[in-house]
């Protein structure tokens, strides 16, 4: 599925947040499960999630050519299948 720049699911960071929320949100809800068959696959999804790191100084994701494509695939399918989060209500100071 192709996304245009500016679409809420276009950025990698938005996709990471949506995927994190799908795996376990703040209320303890899980919307995305990983089958046991993928747990032992070398260079698979579980390894990709375990190897995901951020640079401590910049906060950006550290590239890992070995597992990036697998993590990207999970992010793409999660963003395409989950409904967007409802807007949060905000209180404004006067």
Token couple for 15: 């996709």
92 or 72, which is more confident: 72
- Judge whether residue 73 has pLDDT over 60: yes
pLDDT on residue 60: 87
Q: What is the pLDDT of residues 7-65, one digit of tens each?
A: 666 678 888 888 888 998 889 999 888 888 877 788 888 888 888 899 999 988 888 88
Task: Kindly indicate the confidence band of residue 67, based on its pLDDT and cuts at 50, 70 and 90.
Answer: confident
Averaged pLDDT for residues 67-82: 86
* Interhelix angle 68-81/12-23, nearest 10 degrees: 80
């Amino acid at each position: 599925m192709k996304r245009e720049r500016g679409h809420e699911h276009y950025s990698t960071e938005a996709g990471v947040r949506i995927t994190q929320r799908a795996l376990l949100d703040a209320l303890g809800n899980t919307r995305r499960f990983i089958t046991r068959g993928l747990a032992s696959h070398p260079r698979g999804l579980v390894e990709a999630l375990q190897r995901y790191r951020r640079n401590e100084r910049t906060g950006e994701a550290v590239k890992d050519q070995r597992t990036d494509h697998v993590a990207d695939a999970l992010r793409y399918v999660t963003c395409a299948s989950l409904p967007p989060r409802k807007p949060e209500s905000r209180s404004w100071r006067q």
